[in-house]
């Protein structure tokens, strides 16, 4: 599943509307009056009465009208069925909870009306929901409802789509990495551990290694495991987490140096393919075009 995790600029937020104006408003009125007309209309069109008629507390991650336009124009999403749209819309609503900015914790998981989970992350410059950048200051709120604006629709992995399963479903890109993970006895770690961020070398990245070196690694599980652990860091780092060019400690004990320059992002000098990322139940995957190899300086280099 493609990660929709690229935001060109942060969306400017208006201040919260006065409680006297919104405390008795319905949820649809709140959405409409604060400019989320497409979302309000979609809820009605898809007959989502359980959400429309609720009188309970609620948190809404509301896509802009422009986000709806992109959804209709995108060739992958413009033909979504009614059932698919119900799932997409339900994913935006956290029921029974008015989640204030001060309530948010890094790696917090919240259940949505679609019975899927959203992962909230706090980075030095931004906060994200399933990788989508969101400013955690309310665009509008009433006594029971709080609405945060996002400019993309968050995606969510299907049940059982852990880090290893996501790789395994992309054998055209990651078959060598999947096989290496199994040889190194790391499959269970990536299925049940985490959350982790995996920098995933493509098949072409492995082909760039000398043939004899790759063959030797595949025959030496301990050495292979050490190299692969250098590709895994604790915590979920979507692209928003790379904005400050952090040094991330990997599971081998060394550091992976992130350098973000505009839309160009590298890890230890190798390019992160930002359009090829994936979200899993237990973390995030970033495709890279080189294998990261350990050095004597407690870091990794690329080949």
**pLDDT range class, residue 302, cuts 50, 70, 90:** low
Residue 209: domain span: 163-288
Same domain? For 130 and 243 the reply is no
Same domain? For 211 and 257 the reply is yes
pLDDT in tens, 160-171: 999 999 999 999
Asked whether residue 261 is domain-assigned, the answer is yes
pLDDT at residue 120 in the model: 97
Give the integer Cα–Cα distance in Å for 213 and 211.
Answer: 5
Same domain? For 131 and 180 the reply is no
Mean pLDDT of the chain: 89
> In this structure, what CATH number is given to the domain that contains residue 122?
2.30.180.10
Asked whether residue 121 is domain-assigned, the answer is yes
pLDDT at residue 5 in the model: 38
Domain tally, the chain: 2
Same domain? For 125 and 169 the reply is no
Whether this model's pTM surpasses 0.75: yes
**pLDDT range class, residue 295, cuts 50, 70, 90:** low
Q: Going by C-beta distance under 8 Å and a sequence separation of 6 or more, which residues neighbour residue 100?
A: 146
Same domain? For 139 and 207 the reply is no
Give the integer Cα–Cα distance in Å for 129 and 238.
Answer: 10
Q: What is the CA radius of gyration of the chain?
A: 21
Asked whether residue 139 is domain-assigned, the answer is yes
pLDDT in tens, 221-280: 999 999 999 999 999 999 999 999 999 999 999 999 999 998 899 999 999 998 889 999
pLDDT at residue 301 in the model: 52
pLDDT in tens, 77-90: 989 999 999 999 99
Same domain? For 183 and 261 the reply is yes
Whether pLDDT at 157 is above 70: yes
Give the integer Cα–Cα distance in Å for 27 and 112.
Answer: 16
Q: Please tell me which residue, 19 or 242, carries the higher pLDDT value.
A: 242
**pLDDT range class, residue 181, cuts 50, 70, 90:** very high
């Amino acid at each position: 599943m493609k990660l929709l995790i690229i935001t060109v600029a942060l969306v400017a937020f208006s201040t919260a509307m006065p409680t006297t104006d919104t405390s008795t408003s319905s949820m649809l009125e709140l959405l409409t009056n604060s400019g989320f007309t497409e979302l309000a209309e979609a809820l009605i069109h898809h007959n989502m009465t359980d959400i429309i008629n609720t009188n309970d507390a609620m948190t809404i991650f509301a896509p802009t009208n422009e986000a709806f336009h992109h959804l209709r124009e995108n060739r992958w999403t413009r033909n979504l069925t009614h059932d698919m749209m119900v799932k997409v819309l339900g994913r935006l609503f956290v029921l029974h909870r008015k989640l204030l900015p001060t309530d948010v914790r890094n790696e917090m998981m919240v259940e949505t009306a679609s019975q899927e989970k959203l992962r909230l992350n706090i980075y030095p410059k931004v906060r994200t929901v399933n990788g989508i950048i969101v400013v955690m200051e309310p665009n509008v709120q009433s006594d029971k409802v709080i609405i945060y604006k996002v400019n993309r629709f968050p995606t969510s992995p299907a049940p059982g789509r852990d880090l290893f399963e996501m790789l395994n479903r992309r054998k055209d890109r990651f078959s060598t990495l999947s096989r290496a993970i199994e040889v190194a006895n790391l499959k269970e770690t990536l299925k049940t551990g985490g959350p982790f961020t995996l920098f995933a070398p493509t098949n072409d990245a492995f082909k760039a290694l000398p043939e004899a070196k790759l063959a030797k690694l595949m025959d030496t599980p301990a050495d292979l495991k050490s190299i692969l652990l250098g590709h895994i860091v604790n915590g979920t780092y979507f692209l928003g987490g790379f904005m400050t060019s952090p040094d991330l400690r990997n599971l081998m004990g060394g550091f992976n140096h992130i350098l973000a320059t505009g839309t160009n992002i590298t890890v230890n000098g190798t390019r992160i393919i930002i359009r090829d990322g994936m979200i899993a139940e237990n973390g995030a995957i970033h495709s890279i075009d080189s294998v990261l190899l350990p050095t004597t300086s407690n870091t990794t280099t690329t080949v």
